[in-house]
């Protein structure tokens, strides 16, 4: 079947890509701080003084200038623009195919979100690996394409899929939980609010609530994913054991604050912009 720019799935892809571009540019500093916190803390010896989010933030600004907070934004764009577009177009296509005539229930909404994230997560994982390495500060890559070539040449193509299991264990539940809470909280809004000019603000608030819950539940998987991608010699189980032996249960929640802020704000903004743009092109999100 031939696709054109007027095809609903293509429109959903374009709306999702635009929303991902806006949210990535705004919240990239939080992602960088989160990655630095996770890789720094897991490299510290037990008993060392803990380093907080503000300390890392000031250190980056002092040593790498203000623009240093946007280090890794190129691979973030390379991942997010097509990745969010792919996520929303997959979500829209699945929803239209299975739930065209009715609103998905809570469990069905979770499956929709998780399924869409699985497709996007697997396809975009190589760029996710490069993005994580850019942000951690341990690698001196110059460009995304140069980093991809370097990893393939020195570590083999398989390294570009390091952390696949941890990434899916983080992203699929996050998306499923987020979509479930977001759709249910939106459905519970009074009709006079959901149809008023303040509806985007109300939807954004629903997204904030859903994002906080989803971020906290999936935080341990994010710490493991970061360690595996920065240290590809570690397998997922080994990374879990290392983090626990070195830092205990609290080690799995390193970087939780900047990640929760970023993921929550990014998801809420992406969904709000996506839904508004879909409405403008005449489609129901």
| Alpha helices (H) in 137-163, listed in sequence order | 144-154
CATH code assigned at 193: 1.50.40.10
Cα distance between residue 137 and residue 132, in whole Å: 9
pTM, rounded to two decimals: 0.75
Residue 195, pLDDT score? 82
How far is the first Cα of the chain from the last one, in angstroms, to the nearest whole number?
23
Q: Would 2 be classed as within a structural domain?
A: no
Q: At 197, give phi and psi (nearest 5°).
A: -60, -20
CB atoms within 10 A of CB 6: 8
Residue 44, pLDDT score? 47
Residue 242 CB-density burial (10 A; 0-12 exposed, 13-18 middle, 19+ buried): middle
Span 221-272, pLDDT tens digits: 888 888 888 887 888 889 899 889 888 888 898 888 888 888 888 889 889 8
CB atoms within 10 A of CB 28: 22
Q: Would 1 be classed as within a structural domain?
A: no
Q: Would 156 be classed as within a structural domain?
A: yes
Residue 130 CB-density burial (10 A; 0-12 exposed, 13-18 middle, 19+ buried): buried
Given a cut of 70, is residue 197 above it in pLDDT? yes
Q: Would 126 be classed as within a structural domain?
A: yes
Span 69-114, pLDDT tens digits: 888 788 888 888 899 999 999 999 999 989 887 889 999 999 999 9
Q: Would 219 be classed as within a structural domain?
A: yes
Q: Would 285 be classed as within a structural domain?
A: no
Given a cut of 70, is residue 45 above it in pLDDT? no
**Buried residues in 211-234 as b, exposed as e (16+ CB within 10 A):** bbbbbeebbbbbbbbbbbbbbbeb
Domain with 62, as residue range(s), is 9-280
Q: Would 136 be classed as within a structural domain?
A: yes
Number of domains the chain is built from: 1
Q: Would 265 be classed as within a structural domain?
A: yes
pLDDT band at 181 (very low <50, low <70, confident <90, very high): very high
Given a cut of 70, is residue 175 above it in pLDDT? yes
Mean pLDDT of the chain: 85
Question: Which are the contacts of 195, defined by CB distance < 8 A and separation ≥ 6?
Answer: none
Following CA atoms 212, 129, 95, 19 in sequence, which dihedral angle do they give, to the nearest 10 degrees? Answer: 70
Q: Which of 161, 169, 159, 13 is nearest to 80 (CA)?
A: 13
């Amino acid at each position: 079947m031939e696709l054109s720019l007027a095809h609903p799935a293509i429109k959903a892809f374009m709306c999702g890509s635009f929303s991902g571009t806006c949210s990535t540019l705004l919240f990239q500093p939080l992602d960088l701080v989160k990655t630095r916190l996770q890789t720094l803390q897991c490299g510290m010896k037990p008993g060392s003084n803990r380093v907080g989010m503000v300390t890392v933030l000031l250190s980056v600004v002092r040593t790498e200038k203000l623009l240093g907070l946007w280090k890794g934004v190129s691979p973030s764009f390379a991942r997010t623009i097509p990745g969010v577009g792919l996520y929303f177009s997959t979500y829209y296509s699945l929803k239209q195919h299975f739930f065209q005539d009715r609103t998905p229930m809570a469990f069905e909404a979770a499956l929709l979100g998780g399924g869409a994230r699985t497709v996007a997560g697997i396809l975009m994982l190589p760029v996710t690996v490069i993005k994580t390495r850019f942000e951690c500060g341990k690698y001196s890559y110059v460009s995304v394409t140069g980093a991809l070539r370097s990893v393939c040449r020195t570590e083999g193509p398989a390294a570009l899929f390091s952390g696949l299991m941890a990434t899916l264990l983080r992203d699929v539940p996050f998306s499923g939980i987020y979509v479930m809470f977001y759709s249910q909280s939106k459905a519970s809004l009074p009709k006079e609010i959901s149809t008023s000019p303040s509806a985007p603000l109300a939807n954004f608030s629903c997204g904030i609530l859903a994002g906080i819950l989803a971020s906290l539940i999936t935080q341990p998987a994010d710490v493991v994913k970061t360690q595996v991608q920065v240290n590809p010699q570690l397998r997922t189980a080994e990374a879990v054991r290392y983090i626990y032996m070195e830092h205990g249960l609290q080690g799995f929640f390193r970087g939780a604050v900047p990640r929760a802020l970023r993921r929550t704000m990014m998801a809420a903004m992406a969904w709000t912009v996506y839904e508004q743009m879909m409405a403008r092109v005449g489609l129901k999100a």
